């Protein structure tokens, strides 16, 4: 409902003072654009019953009522009314704390009795209605997005399940041919290797696609997390790769942040694995941190092959590959950095990269302190 386009608005006045009710009705009648249909009650219970059973475009609520105060009314309204109602709180109490608490509890505007004119009341009513319209529109879009994301995840699950079976069949038959014919010629052996490698890459891609779809669905579990401990665990997990490549990892002391430890570990693991994989010399990785206006900026710098600056955005796009498959290995899906960026943004942070061919890359993670 667009309140600006509606010529008739239904107003519920909940006020135990008859003189005040007459004043509000008189103010509302001064509107030249909108006609108001007014219902008046003198207690909270009758007001709650009307809100639950009838269409009410806005409630003018007295703070001091004989059965409930305004804050208690707002709490009961949230329980009993299936839809959000615009509420303007009216009170003679000279206490800003009451106003703040009223707005926190669900009021959409606040006026002090004896200190507002007709135009002030009409403006408050319009603004309260507009606020609720915006909230309802946002809720609907959020619900639509959540429903769409659930559909996407179900689709990803179905596709991954349906694709894995034929891929296993292809790999199985390739292995069966090898076992039955031990005298395979070199060319046929090479073809079978192509088949096996292609199906393995496809299976890895399916798994990563499902992981990417889940990344937007999984609710973050935020807890105080020592990033130094995260880094230590990753180094232990990658011990064999680090030793084989001769990689050196140097890190300054990292902060403790309220983050999802599993998700953040995935980000750092991906960055370290890429730094080791895409390097023509012994990898040198430096992790540093700085504070900037309530945020931590964590940098992960490597001496890898790097890339041209015009690809800075493309590297975070799903299925993006700047490196030939021969250098990626069988598990290169083009989704790792896309998932990392989504995880960081889900933490209300940002992620970007600076790079130069032959001189390595530096990935930046900006994460809020709280």
Q: What is the DSSP string of 182-248?
A: TT--HHHHHHHHHHHHHHHHHHHHHHHHHHHHHHTTSPP--EEEEHHHHHHHHHHHTHHHHHHHT-E
E strands of 71-194, at which residues?
Answer: 87-91, 109-112
Residue 323: both structure tokens together: 């490196």
The reported pLDDT for the residue numbered 188 is 81
**CB 363 within 8 Å of CB 288:** no
343 CB-contact burial (10 Å; exposed 0-12 / middle 13-18 / buried 19+): buried
CATH number at residue 281: 3.30.565.10
Same domain, 122 and 257: no
**What residues form DSSP beta bridges with 350?**
366
pTM, rounded to two decimals: 0.52
Report yes or no on 132 lying in a domain. yes
Average pLDDT, the chain: 85
335 part of a folded domain: yes
Q: What is the pLDDT of residues 54-85, one digit of tens each?
A: 889 999 999 989 999 888 999 999 888 777 89
Q: Are residues 125 and 255 in the same domain?
A: no
pLDDT band at 329 (very low <50, low <70, confident <90, very high): very low
pLDDT above 90 (res 117): yes
- The predicted-structure confidence for 233-284, as pLDDT tens digits, reads as follows 999 989 988 999 999 999 999 999 999 998 899 899 999 999 999 999 999 9
- Whether residues 137 and 223 share a domain: the answer is no
Residues 271, 125 within the same domain: no
End-of-domain residue from the set 141, 165, 192: 141
Q: Are 42 and 19 in contact (CB under 8 A)?
A: no
Residue that is last in its domain, among 88, 110, 141: 141
From 112, 141, 170, the end of a domain falls on 141
Polymer length of the chain: 370
Contact, 287 vs 299, CB < 8 A?
Answer: yes
Structure tokens at 62: 């007295």
Provide the sign of the torsion angle of the four alpha carbons 328, 332, 334, 338, taken in this order: negative
Is there a single domain that holds both residue 119 and residue 29? yes
Task: Compute the distance between CA of residue 5 and CA of residue 110 in angstroms, rounded to an integer.
Answer: 24
**What is the CATH number for 108?**
3.40.50.2300
CA distance 368 to 312: 23
CA 300 to chain centre: 24
Is 181 a member of any domain? no
In a domain, 3, yes or no: no
Split into its structural domains, the chain has a count of: 2
Contact 266, 234 (CB under 8 A): no
Whether 153 maps to a domain, the answer reads no
Containing structural domain, residue 33 = 8-141
Residue with the larger pLDDT of the pair 95 and 97: 97
Please give the share of the chain, as a percent, with pLDDT higher than 70: 86
Residue tagged 């909230």 (tokens) = 135
For residue 323, the model assigns a pLDDT of 58
In a domain, 147, yes or no: no
Say yes or no: 127 and 228 in one domain: no
- Residues 30, 137, single domain; the answer is yes
The answer to whether residues 128 and 30 belong to one domain is: yes
Q: Is 253 contained in some domain?
A: yes
Same domain, 120 and 266: no
Q: CA 58, CA 79: separation in Å to the nearest integer?
A: 17
What pLDDT is recorded for position 4?
A: 43
Q: Please check whether residues 229 and 348 belong to one and the same domain.
A: yes
Residue 281 lies in a domain: yes
């Amino acid at each position: 409902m667009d309140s600006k386009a509606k010529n008739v608005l239904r107003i519920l006045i909940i006020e135990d003072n008859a003189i005040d009710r007459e004043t509000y009705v008189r103010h509302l009648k001064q509107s030249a654009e909108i006609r108001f249909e007014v219902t008046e009650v003198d207690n909270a219970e009758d007001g709650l019953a009307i809100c639950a059973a009838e269409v009410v475009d806005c409630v003018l609520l007295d703070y001091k009522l004989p059965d409930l105060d305004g804050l208690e009314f707002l709490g009961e309204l949230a329980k009993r009314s299936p839809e959000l109602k615009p509420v303007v709180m009216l009170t003679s109490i000279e206490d800003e704390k009451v106003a703040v608490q009223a707005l926190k509890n669900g009021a959409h505007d606040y006026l002090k009795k004896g200190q507002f004119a007709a135009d002030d009341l009409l403006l408050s009513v319009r603004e309260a209605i507009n606020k609720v319209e915006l909230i309802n529109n946002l809720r609907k879009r959020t619900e639509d997005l959540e429903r769409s994301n659930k559909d996407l995840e179900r689709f990803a699950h179905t596709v991954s399940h349906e694709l894995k079976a034929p891929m296993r069949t292809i790999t199985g038959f390739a292995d069966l041919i090898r076992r039955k014919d031990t005298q395979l010629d070199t060319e046929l052996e090479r073809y079978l290797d192509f088949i096996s490698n292609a199906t393995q890459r496809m299976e890895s891609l399916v798994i990563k696609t499902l992981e990417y779809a889940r990344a937007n669905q999984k609710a973050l579990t935020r807890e105080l997390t020592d990033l130094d401990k995260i880094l230590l665990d990753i180094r232990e997990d990658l011990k064999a790769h680090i030793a084989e490549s001769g990689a050196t990892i140097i890190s300054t002391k990292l902060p403790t942040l309220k983050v999802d430890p599993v998700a953040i570990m995935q980000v750092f693991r991906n960055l370290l694995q890429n730094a080791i994989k895409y390097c023509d010399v012994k990898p040198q990785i430096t992790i540093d941190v700085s504070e900037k206006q309530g945020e931590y900026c964590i940098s992960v710098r490597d001496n890898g092959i790097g890339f041209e600056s015009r690809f800075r955005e493309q590297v975070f796009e799903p299925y993006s590959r700047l490196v030939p498959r021969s250098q990626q290995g069988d598990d290169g899906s083009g989704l790792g950095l896309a998932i990392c960026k989504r995880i960081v943004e889900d933490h209300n942070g940002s992620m970007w990269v600076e790079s130069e061919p032959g001189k390595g890359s530096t990935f930046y993670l900006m994460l809020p302190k709280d």
